[in-house]
């Protein structure tokens, strides 16, 4: 019996090649794209789940009240972690975590590596399996380090690295460490990325800050004991807070800050490790959103849904050609169950072919997909037993529902009705029309999203950021040389080049450079009996001129004034914090005897991402803090030539360092990666949604034209023009598109409004976006249906009337 089903199914599919090809093509493309998108979505959702203790690990963050409301920070003081372990019950393990670049030297090799400075518990808490060397507690000795497999290969080649001594540059001096353990390279799904791990006590700033509660510069992770609730952490740390932050709390009360709902001015809370990749600290609160990952999965579902709707519509469209077959089978004794399984077998076979082709499409396109969407997803990372079972179950459900509905519809037909060759679809038109409305509604929703996202992205790219981003090149000041000396050598090397206009440096980059590093520094100080918080930036001479920042008061740092090394240049937002009529009378206070006067004010500029408002910033010159990035302003002509000149100069100064220079406009564009990824995804989904909707629309137009063949002939005989007939056949489709527009537009407006709320600088939601999406959908639908209807309208009416 089953063999007979397959044989009949194969013959039927070959007999109707057009419908079969359209069905297989639409479903294959939908499955291929849905598989890739689903892989990306599940990849994002699986961040840090590979850690054995992931469910029990948390990141500590602090919340404090100031006159402007709550503030959140993940930076902590060095004594906090030991205090937590000693005073707070329920903490099983804990570690500090500081990520910095470090210069590693072995023999003649000198390489910059991403280093983390952690405590001994780190490798007991997090799962980074050892490949060789000490497995248990690899950082027990402060002189030992842990390196990754990639670091071992870069430093030692084929040599056994265990027991080898390498030098790490700390505080300007090379210090020896012994390689005790080699671990695998950090997984792509890890928020903690490193190439070498060193004990925290070896950090350059540790000794001077180990008892200082006011110097906050690193993260803290804790692992709770079993059955300990994270919600109790706040209460368990209150005595610690009252003992160590008494002055801060008193200052908050003095300045007019209001306590939170629990009456607290300062507290510690926990962020689950599994939420860290999805967390945003904004407006004094932690927002955890997996929206982007669910959006990817949602687009995959919508694309597959549209393809399934097409399959249903095509099956109904093709049913008119099989009525006599159904009637004959029933006359010969076929039961309804047998007919259902026959037609359902056809659907299953089409789906099997489509899934197979879809898998091949996804395998062929995965490299391009990874490049476009900037993801490290692979089949090996997501093909877990649970995901495979989920995929198989989803395919079975889809085939049962999508293939079962047309099969059930056909098997229910009466024998006489089938033998007459008439399909009464009046009762089914509502289902068909509803599916089409939903299909085009999804397409219009995605088109609107594409238009809005592209406009917002262009707005951010072209926005005036308040500094020169086209002519300024930045790069890390890697290497063993003192950063100030290296910068001065760079000035000397490029002094005779007319294309080099200005050179300066700072301890932070603007945007994301090629090294991928981004950081910020904040500090608070007391000014006239109140606390002021500001971002802090260490700069060198000519920083304002190099970036073309606009001075609105005072002056810039000047070599002719030795006192400027004890001065500060601030932005307008910081000037407002002082509340002085003349900000040049204000000062930065480190203690009662150390005050740095404000010598200049620059116009506000965007030194952070555009999803943040412009915050106060203070620029100071201090040889106590290193510069980490050089900035070079070049002439607007011969940019490539200037780039090569800077690269060559740096190679002379630091021959062992890799040059990672990029212009600031490139750096800024890298900050939009999330927006670019979402925009690319929605655009691709919109194009595919429209293409699949057109396939379904084409199938329905075939059904309508076939049903109204005689009507077309009669109308032509009594004088109807081709245009009249074409309009008659297409107006119903355009009505459905209109209904789709009315339903989709409010939804699109709501979604886009919510998305734009994440940006303080954003476009206006113009009606043009929604009208443009609706018009585009209508034009595409008209073109799809028009070709078939015009052909039918131009046919010979004699042929139409001759048909039985």
What pLDDT score does 62 carry?
92
Pairwise pLDDT comparison (715 vs 293), residue with the higher score: 293
Q: What is the pLDDT of residues 522-531, one digit of tens each?
A: 788 888 888 8
What pLDDT score does 83 carry?
93
**Under 8 Å between Cβ of 407 and 347:** yes
- The average pLDDT across 413-435 equals 57
User: What token pair was written down for 643?
Assistant: 């780039």
Q: Which of 73-77, 313-317, 659-663 has the lowest mean pLDDT?
A: 313-317
Q: Please, what sign has the CA dihedral across residues 40, 42, 45, 50?
A: negative
Q: What is the pLDDT of residues 351-388, one digit of tens each?
A: 788 888 888 898 888 888 888 777 777 777 656 677 67
Band (pLDDT 50/70/90 cuts) for residue 800 is: low
Pairwise pLDDT comparison (144 vs 703), residue with the higher score: 144
**Under 8 Å between Cβ of 131 and 182:** yes
- The average pLDDT across 661-677 equals 87
**Percentage, residues of the chain above pLDDT 70:** 83
DSSP string, 243-274: HHSHHHHHHHHHTTPPP-TTS-SEEEEEEEHH
- Average confidence score pLDDT of the chain: 83
pLDDT above 70 (res 216): yes
* 3-state secondary structure string across 492-556: HHCCCCCCEEEEEEECCCCCCCCCCCCCCCEEEEECCCCEEEEEEEEECCCHHHHHCCCEEEECC
Q: What is the pLDDT of residues 120-143, one digit of tens each?
A: 999 999 999 999 998 888 999 999
Closest-CA residue to 459 (of 292, 607, 672): 672
Contacts with 653 (C-beta within 8 Å, 6 or more apart), sequence order? 479, 481, 486, 489, 490, 493
Q: What is the pLDDT of residues 577-628, one digit of tens each?
A: 998 999 999 999 876 667 899 999 999 999 988 878 888 999 999 887 888 8
What pLDDT score does 730 carry?
75
**DSSP 8-state class, residue 47:** T
pLDDT above 60 (res 533): yes
Q: Determine which helix (DSSP H) or strand (DSSP E) holds 2, and give its type and residue range.
A: helix 2-15
- The average pLDDT across 713-729 equals 68
Pairwise pLDDT comparison (286 vs 548), residue with the higher score: 548
Per-domain residue ranges of the chain: 2-44+291-459+675-802, 54-273, 479-659
Residue 771 backbone phi and psi in degrees, to 5:
-65, -40
- The average pLDDT across 268-296 equals 86
Pairwise pLDDT comparison (187 vs 701), residue with the higher score: 187
Band (pLDDT 50/70/90 cuts) for residue 52 is: very high
Band (pLDDT 50/70/90 cuts) for residue 804 is: very low
What pLDDT score does 308 carry?
82
């Amino acid at each position: 019996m089953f063999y007979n089903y397959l044989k009949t199914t194969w013959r039927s599919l070959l007999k109707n090649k057009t419908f079969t090809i359209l069905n297989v093509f639409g479903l294959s493309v939908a499955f291929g794209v849905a598989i890739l998108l689903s892989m990306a979505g599940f990849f994002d959702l699986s961040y840090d789940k590979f850690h054995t203790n992931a469910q029990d690990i948390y990141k500590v963050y602090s919340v404090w009240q100031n006159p402007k409301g709550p503030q959140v920070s993940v930076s902590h003081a060095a004594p906090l972690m030991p205090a937590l372990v000693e005073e707070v019950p329920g903490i099983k393990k804990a570690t500090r975590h500081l990520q910095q670049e470090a210069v590693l030297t072995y023999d003649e090799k000198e390489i910059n590596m991403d280093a983390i400075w952690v405590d001994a518990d780190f490798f007991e808490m997090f799962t980074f399996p050892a490949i060789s060397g000490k497995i248990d507690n690899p950082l027990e000795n402060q002189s030992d380090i842990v390196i990754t497999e990639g670091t071992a290969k870069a430093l030692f080649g084929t040599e056994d690295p265990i027991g080898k001594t390498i030098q790490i540059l700390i505080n300007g001096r090379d210090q020896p460490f012994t390689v005790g353990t080699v671990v695998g390279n950090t997984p792509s799904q890890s928020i903690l990325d490193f190439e070498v791990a060193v004990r925290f006590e070896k950090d350059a700033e540790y000794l001077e800050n180990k008892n200082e509660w006011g110097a906050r510069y690193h993260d803290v992770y804790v692992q709770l004991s079993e059955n300990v609730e994270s919600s109790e952490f706040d209460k368990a740390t209150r005595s610690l807070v009252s003992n160590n932050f008494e002055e801060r709390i008193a200052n908050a009360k003095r300045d007019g800050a209001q306590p939170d709902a629990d009456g607290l001015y300062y507290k510690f809370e926990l962020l689950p490790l599994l939420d860290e990749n999805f967390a945003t600290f904004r407006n004094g609160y932690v927002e955890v959103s997996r929206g982007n990952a669910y959006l990817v999965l949602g687009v995959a579902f919508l694309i597959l849904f549209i393809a399934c709707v097409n399959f249903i519509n095509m099956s109904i469209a093709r049913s008119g050609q099989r009525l006599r077959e159904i009637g004959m089978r029933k006359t010969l004794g076929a039961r309804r169950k047998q007919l259902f399984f026959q037609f359902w077998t056809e659907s299953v076979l089409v789906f099997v072919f489509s899934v197979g082709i879809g898998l091949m499409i996804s395998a062929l396109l995965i490299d391009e997909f990874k490049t476009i969407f900037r993801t490290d997803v692979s089949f090996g990372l997501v093909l877990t037993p649970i995901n495979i079972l989920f995929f198989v179950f989803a395919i079975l459900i889809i085939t049962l529902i999508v293939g079962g509905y047309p099969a059930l519809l056909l098997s229910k037909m009466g024998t006489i009705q089938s033998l007459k060759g008439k399909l009464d679809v009046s009762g089914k038109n509502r289902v068909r029309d509803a599916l089409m409305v939903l299909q085009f509604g999804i397409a219009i929703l995605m088109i609107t999203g594409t238009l809005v996202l592209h406009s917002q992205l262009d707005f951010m790219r072209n926005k005036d950021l308040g500094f020169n981003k086209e002519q300024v090149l930045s790069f890390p000041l890697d290497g063993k040389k003192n950063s100030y000396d290296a910068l001065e050598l760079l000035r000397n090397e490029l002094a005779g080049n007319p294309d080099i206009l200005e050179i300066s440096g700072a301890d932070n980059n603007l945007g994301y450079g090629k090294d991928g590093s981004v950081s910020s520094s904040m500090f608070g100080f007391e000014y006239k009996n109140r606390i002021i918080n500001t971002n802090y930036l260490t700069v060198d001479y000519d920083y304002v001129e190099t970036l073309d920042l606009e001075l609105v008061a005072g002056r810039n740092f000047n070599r002719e004034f030795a006192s400027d090394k004890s001065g500060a240049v601030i932005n307008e937002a910081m000037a407002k914090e002082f509340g002085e009529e003349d900000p040049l009378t204000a000062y930065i206070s480190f203690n009662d005897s150390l005050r740095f006067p404000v010598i200049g004010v620059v116009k506000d500029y965007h030194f952070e991402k555009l999803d943040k408002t412009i915050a106060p910033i203070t620029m100071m010159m201090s040889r106590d803090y290193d510069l980490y990035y050089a900035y070079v302003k070049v002439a607007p002509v011969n940019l490539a030539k200037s780039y090569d000149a800077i690269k060559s100069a740096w190679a002379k100064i630091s021959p062992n360092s890799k040059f990672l220079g990029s212009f600031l406009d490139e750096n800024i564009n890298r900050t939009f990666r999330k927006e670019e990824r979402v925009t690319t995804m929605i655009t691709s989904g919109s194009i595919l949604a429209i293409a699949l909707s057109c396939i379904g629309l084409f199938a329905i137009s075939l059904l309508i034209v076939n049903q109204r063949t005689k009507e077309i002939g009669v109308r032509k005989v009594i004088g109807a023009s081709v245009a009249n007939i074409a309009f008659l056949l297409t107006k119903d489709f355009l009505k459905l598109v209109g209904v789709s527009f009315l339903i989709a537009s409010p939804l699109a407006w709501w979604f886009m409004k919510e998305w734009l709320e994440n940006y303080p600088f954003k476009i206006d939601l113009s009606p043009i976006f929604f009208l443009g999406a609706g018009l585009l959908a209508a034009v595409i639908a008209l073109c799809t249906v028009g070709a078939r209807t015009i052909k039918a309208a131009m046919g010979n009416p004699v042929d139409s009337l001759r048909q039985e």
